[in-house]
Amino acid sequence: MTYAIELREIRKSFGPVRAVDGLSLAVPRGAVYGFLGPNGAGKTTTLRMIMDIIRPDSGEIRLFSEPSSRSVRSRVGYMPEERGLYRKMTAVAVLRYFGSLKGMTAAQLSQCVPAWLERIDLTGYANKKVEELSRGMHQKLQFAATVINDPELVILDEPFSGLDPVNQDLLREIITTMRSQGRTVLFSTHGMHEAEQLCDFIVLINQGKVVVDGTLDQIRSRHESDTISIEIEGDGAFVGTLPQVAAVRPDGRRLDVTLHDGADPQELLRILVERSRVRAFEVKHPSLHEIFVRLVGGGHVEDR
């Protein structure tokens, strides 16, 4: 498999603070990769290092197997978390300027700029100055400026924060389209919902280190909950006495059953079917949210 981004053991300290501490990551081409972590985990620092805006103290960064991001810069679009636009420029001028910095020709620009304005619903504001637009419009314009040259790799730092639900859907749809066109997308987010919906892969970092990395299914199965929710007819008291069962907690009409380590849920189902009528049997999948909270623990998370 070829990778769009490869990070090997990168480290970065700011004075006494270790922002990134031996982080390794490989983003395959064509994947949508979610970059999760609490505030201050080192997400933005990592993304800035990928973009060569700041340099790591040690470690190796490769984009498209190239050792320097300089040469491949025009193939990458990056929308930072701290983002702004020239207030006095018009929406069209902004897109043209960023497009030309990415090496687009005037002919390409006159084709792409109106198309993108259309796509982000800003056609009517094309000749308005940036300072006259709302915050959500700014963000859409920034996004369009990031991807104006249709880069192969798109890196987005918190792209969903600050958008209303309608615009969040719009952005989600654009990212989905990009994936179908074979583009690679890496984005950081606090929204577990977006990550679950959009991502092929997810990496969770905390205090500058990778906590979990893999596909959504891999992560889920690794953190498979041992809880099974059942609903049976009649008295369910016998469930607590079964050898596989560690604990039973009533949950309304249902029972939340916790199994001993290594016990097979299928075995439990068989026993239940033998002894009673089963109305519902569900192996509970932990949500990403639960995994996140469990792994990061919330306790020692610092806000930067």
Write each residue from 89 to 128 as x if it is in contact with other proteins (CB under 8 A), else as -, in one continuous string.
Answer: x-------xx-xxxx-------------------------
The residues in 196-235 that bind other proteins, with binding defined as CB under 8 A, are: none
- Residues 47, 295: Cα–Cα separation, whole Å: 22
Q: Apex CA 77: angle with CA 30 and CA 147, to 5°?
A: 90
Rounded to a whole number of angstroms, the minimum distance from the CB of residue 217 to other proteins is 32
Strands, sheet with 153-157, edge to edge from the N-terminal-most edge strand: 76-79, 153-157, 184-188, 32-36, 201-206, 209-215
Rounded to a whole number of angstroms, the minimum distance from the CB of residue 71 to other proteins is 12
Rounded to a whole number of angstroms, the minimum distance from the CB of residue 177 to other proteins is 22
Residue 265, interface with other proteins (CB under 8 A)? no
Residue (24 or 100) nearer to other proteins, CB: 100
Hey, is 201 helix, strand or coil? strand
The residues in 41-80 that bind other proteins, with binding defined as CB under 8 A, are: 48, 51-54, 70, 73-74, 76-80
- Residues 239, 199: Cα–Cα separation, whole Å: 38
- Residues 36, 292: Cα–Cα separation, whole Å: 9
Residue (83 or 220) nearer to other proteins, CB: 83
Of 1, 2, 16, 82, the one binding other proteins (CB under 8 A) is 82
Cα Rg, the chain, nearest whole Å:
24
- Residues 15, 81: Cα–Cα separation, whole Å: 22
Question: Which structure tokens are listed for 40?
Answer: 């201050």
Of 23, 33, 34, 142, the one binding other proteins (CB under 8 A) is 142
Rounded to a whole number of angstroms, the minimum distance from the CB of residue 127 to other proteins is 15
The residues in 144-183 that bind other proteins, with binding defined as CB under 8 A, are: 145-146
Rounded to a whole number of angstroms, the minimum distance from the CB of residue 131 to other proteins is 10
Rounded to a whole number of angstroms, the minimum distance from the CB of residue 88 to other proteins is 7
Which of 61, 47, 55 has the alpha carbon at shortest distance from 8?
61
Sign, Cα dihedral of 165, 177, 44, 121 = negative
Write out the residues near other proteins by the rule CB under 8 A. 48, 51-54, 70, 73-74, 76-80, 82-89, 97-98, 100-103, 142, 145-146
